[in-house]
């Protein structure tokens, strides 16, 4: 059972009403499927209070708007200056979504403790031997952008699957439905590329933060 049912109904309905206009144009106008997707996207963020629900709604909304702007920037017939403007708008929306996500993570942090690995002192190493110490933890948490990119990809793929399911069989190539599905496919492809880039950056950051050897 979804834990969203533990939240006040009025607050939940308000956030859903904000998300529906962002989802409906790209899922064939099916309100039932759009509402189901909105609930799935909110549940991914696991809100447990009205404040967390609001931040989850902001993160989802900005993510959807950012993906839409990215798709617009990839339109082949769009003028170069409009493509650049759409890309800048997508970046601004993405930053706003990341800010809402960080604020939500800060609220949820205390109830998501991370288990520290057990450390057993090595009494066999003479004091004069060089010792390995871990570098200070990177406060930028490279894994966070990866998680955000994964969530964005999951959201885009869910919406694409709903759109295809709504239009049983392939719609006519030049119909509005076919164009919407093609646009959503571009959003999925863009989100997949962003995830690949985020993983590469995280891997590079992990290499830089490996333990360094210093003399005792």
Across 9-32, average pLDDT: 90
pLDDT at 114: 44
| % of the chain beyond a pLDDT of 70 | 70
Kindly tell me if the per-residue pLDDT of 137 is higher than 80: no
Across 73-97, average pLDDT: 84
Kindly tell me if the per-residue pLDDT of 157 is higher than 50: yes
CA distance 54 to 22: 16
Q: Which of 153, 160, 155, 193 is nearest to 178 (CA)?
A: 160
Kindly tell me if the per-residue pLDDT of 150 is higher than 90: no
| % of the chain beyond a pLDDT of 90 | 23
Kindly tell me if the per-residue pLDDT of 132 is higher than 70: no
Average of per-residue pLDDT values in the chain: 76
* pLDDT tier, 70 (very low <50, low <70, confident <90, very high otherwise): confident
pLDDT at 10: 94
Kindly tell me if the per-residue pLDDT of 211 is higher than 50: yes
**Which of 111-119's residues contact partners 24+ apart within 8 Å by CB, and which partners?**
111/48
Query: Taking the chain, what is the end-to-end CA distance rounded to the nearest angstrom?
Result: 55
Q: Which of 66, 60, 58, 59 is nearest to 93 (CA)?
A: 66
Kindly tell me if the per-residue pLDDT of 138 is higher than 70: no
* pLDDT tier, 136 (very low <50, low <70, confident <90, very high otherwise): very low
Lowest-confidence segment of 108-112, 132-136, 195-199 by average pLDDT? 132-136
CA distance 65 to 54: 16
Both structure tokens of 125: 């190493």
Residue-wise pLDDT tens digits, 86-122: 888 888 888 998 999 999 999 888 655 444 444 444 4
Question: Greatest CA separation found in the chain?
Answer: 76
């Amino acid at each position: 059972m979804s834990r969203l049912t533990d939240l006040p109904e009025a607050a939940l309905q308000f956030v859903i009403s904000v998300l529906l206009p962002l989802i409906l144009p790209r899922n064939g106008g099916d309100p039932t499927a759009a509402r189901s997707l909105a609930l799935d996207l909110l549940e991914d963020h696991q809100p447990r209070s009205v404040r967390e629900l609001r931040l989850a709604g902001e993160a989802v909304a900005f993510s959807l708007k950012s993906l839409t702007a990215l798709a617009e920037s990839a339109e082949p017939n769009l003028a170069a200056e409009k493509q650049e403007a759409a890309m800048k708008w997508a970046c601004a929306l993405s930053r706003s979504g990341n800010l809402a996500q960080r604020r939500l993570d800060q609220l949820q942090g205390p109830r998501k403790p991370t288990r520290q690995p057990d450390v057993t002192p090595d009494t066999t190493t003479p004091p004069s031997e060089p010792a390995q110490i871990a570098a200070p933890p990177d406060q930028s948490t490279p894994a966070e952008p990866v998680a955000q990119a994964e969530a964005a990809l999951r959201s885009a793929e869910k919406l694409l699957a709903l759109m295809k399911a709504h239009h049983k069989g392939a719609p006519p190539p030049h119909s509005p439905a076919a164009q919407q599905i093609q646009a959503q496919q571009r959003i999925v492809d863009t989100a997949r590329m962003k995830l690949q880039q985020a993983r590469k950056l995280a891997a590079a950051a992990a290499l830089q933060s490996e333990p360094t050897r210093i003399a005792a």
